Amino acid sequence: MATATALEIERRSSALGALITGVDLAGGVDDTTLTALQDAFLKYQVICIRGQQAMTPDDQLAFASRWGEVSVHPYVPSIEGHPGVMKIHEPTPLTQRWHADTTHAERPPALSMLLARVIPEVGGDTMWSNAALVYEQLSPGLRATLDTLHAVHQGTTLADQAGLDRKAVTQSHPVVRTHPITGRKALFVNGDYTTHIEGWTPEESAPLLEYLYAQVGRAEYVYRHKWRVGDLVIWDNRCTQHAVVGDTGGAERVLHRVTLFGDRPV
């Protein structure tokens, strides 16, 4: 069983992100090691635990359950026999746009864990942006305005294809949410799920939302991860957004994702 003394943590960008080596999650981790990983997660928002190709879907679910309650996606199927493990394929228009996961839910995920199974020789990197830093770098006047607003989040067309009622995949959340552990505020609107500012029309909302989305993608707020098979990346869905780079040229790319229930944003 791995111990915390073996962990090596290397910061990967000034905005967010760290690489962790020296731990075998398939072999299990003790409570001290788990605490060290969780502390790094809160500090860096995105951590990559390298060399976990021996993990099975059962191992991934077992490890995830030590962090919280596993969430089964409301309309994207799990892999057979493993509820809560979602197979992520090649980049799509949805995944290439900056977003946080499943923000149309009443309790959007607290975090997601993505394990790389098949990675193309080139391409398919994933980028993460520090949405807390994005918020903090806005002008005081704009921050004060955003603090008073809510936005409507709605499931994608995949929800319609699954036969779900629109009301079942629609929620209103604060435009700026407060992290339940760190207390840090972060921007909480995204191009995949946010439809409009509550009380505003979509047309009125669009200029402000597009401006905020453009800030999320600025290079100084971003960590870009080049995948290796066996990378387990864990990110904080409450204060980051992510987007995949769609340059695989059609090559196979398979990752397994597990998400954990969060709280209702405030």
Tens digits of residue pLDDT in 197-208? 999 999 999 999
Residue 156 has pLDDT above 90, yes or no: no
Q: Tell me which fold the domain 4-125+225-261 belongs to.
A: Double-stranded beta-helix (3.60.130)
Sole residue written with tokens 């869905």 = 237
pLDDT of residue 79: 87
Please count the other Cβ atoms lying within 10 Å of the Cβ belonging to residue 78: 17
> What pLDDT band is residue 187 in, cutting at 50, 70 and 90?
very high
Residue 30 has pLDDT above 70, yes or no: yes
Q: Decide the pairing of beta strands 18-21 and 46-49.
A: parallel
Residues 6+ apart with CB under 8 A from 49: 20, 21, 23, 25, 37, 231, 232, 233, 234
> Catalytic residues, which ones?
99, 101, 242, 257
In contact, 23 and 2? CB cutoff 8 Å:
yes
pLDDT of residue 22: 96
Residue 2 has pLDDT above 60, yes or no: no
Name the more confident of 75 and 223.
223
pLDDT, the chain, mean? 93
Global pTM value: 0.93
Residue 232 has pLDDT above 70, yes or no: yes
239: left (phi over 0), alpha (psi -120 to 50) or beta: alpha
pLDDT of residue 168: 73
36-50, 76-90, 142-156, range with the lowest pLDDT: 76-90
Residue 39 has pLDDT above 90, yes or no: yes
pLDDT of residue 135: 98
pLDDT of residue 152: 98
> What pLDDT band is residue 160 in, cutting at 50, 70 and 90?
low
Mean pLDDT, to the nearest integer, of 50-70? 96
Residue 177 has pLDDT above 70, yes or no: yes
Please count the other Cβ atoms lying within 10 Å of the Cβ belonging to residue 91: 19
For the chain, give every domain's residue range.
4-125+225-261, 130-216
Among 168, 158, 154, 190, which Cα is nearest to 76's?
Answer: 158
Sole residue written with tokens 């003790």 = 30
Among 7, 122, 67, which Cα is nearest to 234's?
Answer: 67
Alpha helices in 6-137 (DSSP H): 31-44, 57-65, 131-136
Cα 233 to Cα 19, 20, 48, 122, distances in angstroms: 9, 10, 4, 18
pLDDT digits (tens, 9 = 90+) for 7-28: 999 999 999 999 999 999 998 8
> What pLDDT band is residue 73 in, cutting at 50, 70 and 90?
confident
Among 247, 211, 235, which Cα is nearest to 108's?
Answer: 235
164-173, 186-195, 248-257, range with the lowest pLDDT: 164-173
Pull the structure tokens for residue 81: 């026999």
In contact, 7 and 33? CB cutoff 8 Å:
yes
Please count the other Cβ atoms lying within 10 Å of the Cβ belonging to residue 262: 23
pLDDT of residue 158: 62
pLDDT of residue 157: 64
